[in-house]
Structure 1
Amino acid sequence: MTAVSAAGFSVATLFRMDMPGGDSPASEGGAVTDIAVRALGPRRDSVKAARDFAADTLARWGAAQLSDDLSLVVSELVTNALCHGVAGGPGGGDDPGAGTVGHPVQLALLRKGMRVMCAVQDPGEGLPAPRDPGDGAETGRGLHIVECFSSSWGWFPLTGVAGRTGKVVWAMFRIPGQ
């Protein structure tokens, strides 16, 4: 098992998920084989750092064929976390990190069997909900993209988890050809 946990992401949190359609990491036989976690600061360049981390991690795991789809979803989830889950995030004000310190957003990748899950944790209380952005809108399509490119997605609040606030938004992928 490979674990990179500089961010302090609670890996046990990943197993709280009850995903539809048998996509739960606990529902697939065998042990978790790989976990990688990356802490992200409240800056615009964190989105690129998250994509690069995801692509590099998938290459190390021999699942590079997922790189395009998973990197796109990671971009959307991290952007949403920064814009909606972090006060003063890149979506508001001149200073993208105003009012925040440290690494408020964390990306975790978990591989078990033929599945890879990405999970983005942020301190925000707002819950993710797909919107109908309408024609010509430049924003509001992120969760639709997540839904289209992953096999399933969801979220859960971190209330009741010791020392944690906010939520985790996750997306599940099946490794093709395996």
Structure 2
Amino acid sequence: MTAVSAAGFSVATLFRMDPLGETDVPSAETGAATDIAVCALGPRRESVKSARDFARETLVRWGAAKLTGDLTLVVSELVTNALCHGMADAPAAPDGDADDDRGPSGHPVQLAMLRKGTRVMCAVQDPGCGLPTPQELGDGAETGRGLHIVECFSTAWGWFPLNGAATRSGKVVWAMFQIPGQ
């Protein structure tokens, strides 16, 4: 069974992420997720702040406020990448209407957060088909540091394409965090 949240993010998608299936996790952390939260984001700059606010409020509600600094920084980077790159390389909607909050492919950029035991994952879905690849940085580079920041501040990160579903295209980029002191 595939559960779909109100925002349209397939909850089953969250369970495809490798860190959730690790076999070396303590037995108390195996099984179903304890909390899932999803936020749909429009294709606007203001969505980066909305995503940070949503992440911060979710972490506080889950009793994981110690992650706020690192996780909100990573969320900023992932959502910025989704808006700058994922929306730009998305296939056009059949009716050509790209002016609404759903984005050019008919579904919005979305942020999903999942808490399972002592770990929290954030995942950003976008309609783009471009691969998230860390850039080689020169001495004076002013851009291209986003995925380096994600790698430095998270326990693990990765991505996978959303293929095989006629109505869904794009990718999910995720980052995993360990709640400090737990």
TM-score by length of structure 2 reads 0.84
Q: CA deviation at 1:76?
A: 0.2
2:20 corresponds to 1:16? no
Aligned length: 167
Q: What are the residue-to-residue correspondences of 1:16-165 with 2, within 5 Å?
A: 16-19=16-19, 22=22, 28-87=29-88, 99-103=98-102, 104-165=108-169
5+ residue gaps, structure 1, are 90-97
Q: CA deviation at 1:74?
A: 0.1
5+ residue gaps, structure 2, are 91-96, 103-107
1:148–1:100 CA distance, 2 compared to 1 (3 A)? farther
Contact 2:89 2:129 in 1 (8 A): no
1:24–1:117 CA distance, 2 compared to 1 (3 A)? farther
Contact 1:159 1:165 in 2 (8 A): yes
Letter in 2 for 1:107: L
1:80–1:151 CA distance, 2 compared to 1 (3 A)? same
The 1-side partners of 2:38 and 2:149 are apart by: 23
The 1-side partners of 2:17 and 2:24 are apart by: 7
Contact 1:125 1:166 in 2 (8 A): yes
Contact 1:4 1:36 in 2 (8 A): no
2:173 corresponds to 1:169? yes
1:100–1:156 CA distance, 2 compared to 1 (3 A)? farther
The 2-side partners of 1:144 and 1:38 are apart by: 24
The CA RMSD measured in Å over matched residues stands at 2.6
Q: CA deviation at 1:18?
A: 2.2
Q: Secondary structure at the match of 2:60?
A: helix
The 2-side partners of 1:160 and 1:18 are apart by: 19
